[in-house]
Structure 1
Amino acid sequence: MTREAENKDTAEKVDIFNLLKDEADQEPDPVHTGPITKETEVIAIYGKGGIGKSFSLANLSYNLAKSGKKVLLIGCDPKSDTTSLLFGGKSCPTIIETSAAKKAAGEDVKISDVCFMRDGVFAMELGGPEVGRGCGGRGIIHGFELLEKLGFHEWDFDYVLLDFLGDVVCGGFGLPIARDMCQKVIVVGSNDLQSLYVANNVCSAVEYFRKLGGNVGVAGMLINKDDGTGEAAAFAEKVGIPVLAAIPQDDDIRKKSASYQIVGDPNDKWGPMFTGLANNMMTAPPRQPTPLDQDGLLGLFAASQTGADYVLIPANPEDMCDPSIINKPSLEVIYDAV
């Protein structure tokens, strides 16, 4: 590579770095604070990546629509997979990518560009930036700003369900809780430490913003892939929230989900379970949870599973350095007392 090419490559890397730095430094625009024209209940569902939020929400929204409710499902995960089960494995254009393409073409985004329907369920994906090319949290904020321009607060829905990744703690992913954009939160977890750790973090966020005057509460917990060991139910009891439903770890559910089959239809074998979840979700009041500390979380599991009985051993400089460095003669001069 020539010196000129090297300099050009270096300049381009600096430009990209500066663009990303400027994006991270930007404060988000204020969200809508005016009156909402309809009593739409907005519910944010949080959980660890891969815990089954998208599976649960696709079937829950389908069940609600079949019972006569008008439902909007919004995927707020950069993976953009919330609606894939609903649409038979097909991915729909995301708001982020559509907005960028329309802007480049000098056109405006329309509802029909980003919102799609199946059997009474309306669904869309916010999406996110490509890896290494932007902030996922900012992408969420930008997506909601665009939704507001498209009339989000005037839409005529009974329920709006937001699918949020709970692993990520930056501002965009905490938007519904921090800014009272939803009335209540549902946490999804299983009988494993990592999913309950994420659920506990969400409860901590709700508690924190409640103390600052927020109004969002936790309606309850959905246990997915329940193997009957009971840790998730014990967690819900300790933090003070109800279990809204427990979806069993069942091979029939796994196979149907893998082949993009809806099991939440009221006439399906598993339909009554999702009807029960829907009824509990609709009637559960928002509660202020009492999150656990790390020892409390570990205490839900046997010490043999978590290493909770391990004793921390402090490290000393002698453990970390070569003995010749530790025993290096000092150059300090010590004078005898006069």
Structure 2
Amino acid sequence: MLDTLPTPDALRAEAAIEPDPVHTGPVTKETQIIAIYGKGGSGKSFTLSNLSYMMAQQGKRVLLIGCDPKSDTTSLLFGGKSCPTIIETSARKKLAGEEVRIEDVCFQRDGVFAMELGGPEVGRGCGGRGIIHGFELLEKLGFHEWGFDYVLLDFLGDVVCGGFGLPIARDMCQKVIVVGANDLQSLYVANNVCKAVQYFRKLGGNVGVAGMVINKDDGTGEAQAFARAVGIPVLAAIPANEDLRRKSANYQIVGRPDGPWGPLFAELAENAAKAPPVLPTPLDHDGLLGLFKPEDTGGNVTLVPATQADMRGGSWAPKPSLEVIYDNV
């Protein structure tokens, strides 16, 4: 055994070999990683399924990753079928003493590659920690070596824990797109995402907001006003339309080049690809309320302070304190 060990001279010779030089030529392929945030039920999954499908039809290599614990991002893409999530597959494989393979968790349809990170059951764990664990496993599977033009991440925006802010906090994406509608709650979430981007930019981060997708647009204009106020463009306005609602409910893809909604999603695909990441100027709460009519939001309500008598349901008089105060010695 000792005869097979390398000699000191051989080790020195090996150590003297210079490593390959750092690549300084033009970048031939760069993956755009885009994180899409929005309130639950705002239409993120509908938007992303059709956007990813349109991008693939345009000849792009696209990976769609669902990062919502509901694991419903890919349902529309796969016609209502749910695919095994990375979290549940990892747990099952670990119990069996096996390694997770890419074919266990990634599936494809018409050129779109898709997977779901998943999350814990209600009350049985932290969804944000599940996101972190999922990305750790993706890195082991070679995430940074995959050759895609676009990686689209679907994140739940109305959860504020660190796991869901991972792409922004750790510069895991180049830009963010927010999905919202003409309602206060979805715009509140979009504004919070803009606040997160602003916060991490102050800490040296590089992620910016590329723009907003208005879903179920009924023409009232609040979402348009929000985008103007925070300084981001509107990448697409998807109308409140019965045909879209019915097809989405039936898990039908509408982002097809030859379909009636093809031009809308083709424009969204182009805008999402080309829009630069910008630093937004999020609104304070009063500014957000100011986008709506006071009668719609309660903006004309005056705060009336409560008194101790109110809290006791009757009269109340202050009593001398029983606290003992000692002189300074």
Decide: shared fold, TM above 0.5: yes
State yes or no: 1:180 paired with 2:171: yes
Tell me the residue number matched to 2:217. Answer: 226
Report whether the alignment pairs 1:261 with 2:247: no
Report the CA distance shift for 1:331/1:170 in structure 2 as closer, same or farther (over 3 A): closer
Checking the alignment, whether the CA contact within 8 Å between 1:183 and 1:216 is kept in structure 2 is yes
Which residue, out of 100, 105, 116, partners 1:125? 116
- CA gap 1:61/1:313 in 2 versus in 1, 3 angstroms: same
Amino acid at match of 1:105: A
Please list, as runs of the form range in 1=range in 2, the aligned pairs for 1:9-88 lying within 5 A after superposition.
Answer: 38-88=29-79
In 2, Cα distance between the equivalents of 1:193 and 1:214?
28
Amino acid at match of 1:230: G
1:201 maps to which residue?
Answer: 192
Q: Tell me, what secondary structure is at the counterpart of 2:165? A: helix
Match of 2:84 in 1: 93
For 1:48, give the aligned amino acid.
Answer: K
Quick one: which of 118, 122, 125 aligns to 1:134? 125
1:216 maps to which residue? 207
Rounded Cα–Cα distance in structure 2 between residues aligned with 1:328 and 1:246: 59
In structure 2, give the amino acid aligned to 1:223: I
What TM-score comes out, normalization by structure 2 length?
A: 0.88
Q: CA deviation at 1:38?
A: 4.9
Larger helix fraction of residues? 1
1:285 aligns with 2:276: yes
Contact 1:233/1:243, CA 8 A, preserved across alignment = yes
**Letter of the aligned partner of 2:190 in structure 1?**
A
Matches of 2:151 and 2:60 in 1, distance apart?
11
Q: Given the alignment, which residue of 93, 103, 106 partners 2:97?
A: 106
Match of 1:14? Answer: none
Q: Tell me how far apart the structure 2 counterparts of residues 134 and 280 of structure 1 sit (CA, whole Å).
A: 37
- Report how many residues are paired: 297
SS at match of 1:202: helix
Structure 2 Cα separation of the partners of residues 321 and 136 of structure 1: 41
Higher radius of gyration, 1 or 2: 2
In the alignment, which residue of structure 2 is the partner of 1:320? 311
Runs of 4+ in 1 over 6 A off after TM superposition: none
- What's the offset of the Cα at 1:322? 4.4
Q: What are the Cα deviations for residues 64-85 of structure 1, in whole angstroms up to 9, with x where unaligned?
A: 0000000000000000000000
Check whether the contact 1:88–1:261 (CA below 8 A) recurs between aligned residues: yes
SS at match of 1:203: helix
Q: 1:322–1:231: structure 2 CA closer, same or farther, 3 Å change rule?
A: closer
Q: Secondary structure at the match of 1:171?
A: coil
Shift, 1:310, TM fit: 1.1
Structure 2 letter corresponding to 1:150: L
What is the CA distance between 1:37 and its match in structure 2?
9.8
State which of 227, 245, 253 in structure 1 corresponds to 2:236: 245
CA drift at 1:328: 8.0
Between the aligned partners of 1:236 and 1:317, the Cα distance in structure 2 is 43
For residues 274-325 of structure 1, the C-alpha deviation after alignment (integer angstroms, 9 at most, x for no partner) is 000000111100000000000100000000100111111111111101447x
Residues 331/113 of structure 1: CA separation in 2 closer, same or farther (3 Å cut): closer
SS of alignment partner, residue 117 of structure 1: strand
Equivalent-residue separation in structure 2 for 1:329 and 1:89 (angstroms):
66
What residue identity is the alignment partner of 2:108? Answer: M
- Partner Cα distance (2:228, 2:319) in 1: 60
Deviation at 1:269, TM superposition (A): 0.6
